[in-house]
Structure 1
């Protein structure tokens, strides 16, 4: 199997938890090293790797794929440098700080004949995959209304300074919003317009930490929402169709498993507890049913498998740059809508 030589642009929590374990578990990748500015940690976990002192040193090495997993306001700069150096690029979400940056990177990758993809790992969450399956089986009929929530209870400011600075790309809209906006687009396509309310709710917060967004479609209304004061969260996926409804909590276990040091090649990887199964209340073959629905297995490894095939066999990226641009266009419109307090056409 041909190896894709891969390097990380940082080795903090993102590199240690969300990227390195999957690169090591897949036979098609070779984790070469990471750019580490101060603390040198990657060789403690992977002794065979390199620790680069500068991004120039990383880009000058024989690297095929660069993972840009730094703060959002650096994504454009580092992804552009990597593409200009002839490297394929995987960019953490949010793709960039705005749509113009995303479109420029998309154009550059196309000109260079390189693969550019966005790390939207939550497309492979167990809960989201279950929602997709329910819709694909047409168990609810035509969807009239849907909500996707990413609710947390955490009134304290993050200890990670870059998340609380108020710099471009900092805030819950880019952090959590980029995920659930992407999920809405995967399920329902690109909307006609948006209406949004964005707020600061935590004491002394410099960043927006709450949002409520309505995506307008011709035949349905979709709402995406996130915040930090939901001590008792409601269902994260609420779908109502002409035949029935489906309710599902956010219960994917992969992030917790990764933080505990579990590896993605274990047999029960990404398996939700049975008591987190979603509730289906609908009509099947003329009979009204109300029952729990088995949850699909979560698997972030699929993103890396699809990226491998994309680079080696020239198939589509797991998340295309065009899809990343669409998310950024929504985020731009959401900010405009909240500022003007009006609907923004797309």
Structure 2
């Protein structure tokens, strides 16, 4: 039997409680042995076998810890990942990878120098709606794509006092938070854009950081439109695709986050199987035959991320999320900031 990957969580906030903890818990190849909680003991209820520590040094100085999950506020991603890699640990970093492209490049180089695996938790590649759209595009169900529109909207018409996501600059608000998911999905589907146009805004009274974005990633023959707002009380379609032969519209967001928040675990039978009333509508023509009807949503499962990571660590398999891909996401987000500042479309020239 292969050695279990002893794992440490660098924090136990929302991402540790909802995403990383549960998906590791159902994977027999990992064991959470240490959790950093500076003042509380919240993790003791669900992870009684793990030791709660009060400092990050207690994690990186532990020779038994093989994997560190840096799921802390964005500002700490670079420094904490660097320390873990230097200590010889494999690392999972929460999105966004880093604050800057330069930081991402340094971490990638450090991982190579230390022969360690570095990956970023771009879990929305495992959303049901994204997997369904990817399948439709690969099948050519819409003909030649002419427009792609994706939304990640919320309704939160107040400022959460004392929350780190509500203070700072463009790299703290919704652009780096939710935009990192949408941009990553588009890069997976279509690769590098030719150019970027972006508008950012802080619409909520007293807001310091962007709570709205409208991004246009320009490709040959079509644009990918990415939008997010904290002031959407009545959401429209989550995804809209138009092509030369048809259209696809999908309402409703992947339910895994809600299910995990309820305390459910992603090893349930029929996990994330979406009710038929939420399936997307496809209206298209295939080989001269018109079709209009529902398309079953492909169930996604976040636990695939750690299944892949185990295979990469123990058997050298290809990573689901390569750090170079997440560095490219940061480059696009930085292009968005520059486009918004200059109020114009700018060419995208990745490093």
Please tell me the TM-score bracket, short chain as reference: over 0.9
Higher mean C-alpha displacement, 158-167 vs 288-297: 158-167
Distance in 2, matches of 1:256 and 1:160, equals 24
Q: CA deviation at 1:12?
A: 1.4
Is 1:14 matched up with 2:29? no
Q: TM-score scaled by structure 1?
A: 0.97
Q: Distance in 2 between matches of 1:168 and 1:306?
A: 32
Task: Give 1:221-236 correspondences, 5 Å limit.
Answer: 221-236=223-238
4+ residue runs over 2 A deviation: none
Q: Contact conserved, 2:170 with 2:210, CA < 8 A, in 1? A: no
For the 8 Å contact 1:150–1:226, the answer to whether it is kept is yes
1:303 corresponding residue in structure 2: 305
User: Helix, strand or coil: the match of 2:284?
Assistant: strand
Q: Is the 1:148–1:184 Cα contact (8 Å) retained in structure 2?
A: no
Q: Encode CA deviations 1:142-172: one digit per residue, 9 max, x unaligned.
A: 2111111111221112356111121674100
Q: How many residues align?
A: 346
**What residue number does 1:44 align with?**
45
Residue 88 (structure 1) shift: 0.6
Judged with a 3 Å threshold, the aligned counterparts in structure 2 of structure 1 residues 172 and 3 are, in CA distance, closer, same or farther, namely same
- Per the alignment, residue 5 of structure 2 pairs with 4
Cα offset, 1:263, TM superposition: 0.9
Instruction: Compute the displacement of 1:268 (Å).
Output: 2.4
Q: Any conservation in 2 of the 1:97–1:168 contact (CA below 8 Å)? A: no
Q: Secondary structure at the match of 1:240?
A: strand
Q: Residue 301 of structure 2 aligns to a residue in which SS? A: coil
Aligned match of 1:217 in 216, 219, 229? 219
1:128 is paired with a residue of what secondary structure? Answer: helix
> Whole-Å Cα distance in 2 between the matches of residues 90 and 159 of structure 1?
29
Q: Secondary structure at the match of 2:152?
A: strand
Deviation at 1:269, TM superposition (A): 1.3
Is the contact between residue 118 and residue 321 of structure 1 (CA under 8 Å) also seen in structure 2?
yes
Residue of structure 2 equivalent to 1:93: 95
5 Å-filtered alignment, 1:259-270, equals: 259-270=261-272
2:56 matched to which residue of 1? 55
The 2-side partners of 1:277 and 1:28 are apart by 34
| Matched ranges for 1:310-325 at <5 A | 310-325=312-327
SS of 2:82's equivalent in the other structure is helix
Distance 1:20 1:160 in 2: 25
Unmatched runs of 5 consecutive residues or more in structure 1: none
Q: Which residue does 2:276 correspond to in 1?
A: 274
Cα distance between partner residues in 2 of 1:252 and 1:218 = 29
Which of these residues, 238, 249, 254, is aligned with residue 240 of structure 2?
238
Does the 8 Å contact 2:195/2:219 carry over to 1? Answer: yes
Summarize deviations over 1:187-238 as a string: whole Å, max 9, x none. 1111011011111100101111101011111222111110111122111111
**What TM-score do you get using the length of structure 2 for normalisation?**
0.96
Paired with 2:314 and 2:243, the residues of 1 have a C-alpha distance of 41
Distance in 1 of aligned mates of 2:156 and 2:347 = 33
1:246-272 CA deviation, whole Å, 9 max, x = no partner? 111233111111111111111021122
Structure 2 CA distance for aligned equivalents of residues 136 and 167 of structure 1: 38
5+ residue gaps, structure 2: none
Write the distance in 2 (CA, Å) between the matches of 1:157 and 1:319: 33
Counterparts of 2:42 and 2:117 in 1: how far apart (Å)? 28
Matched with 2:33 is 32
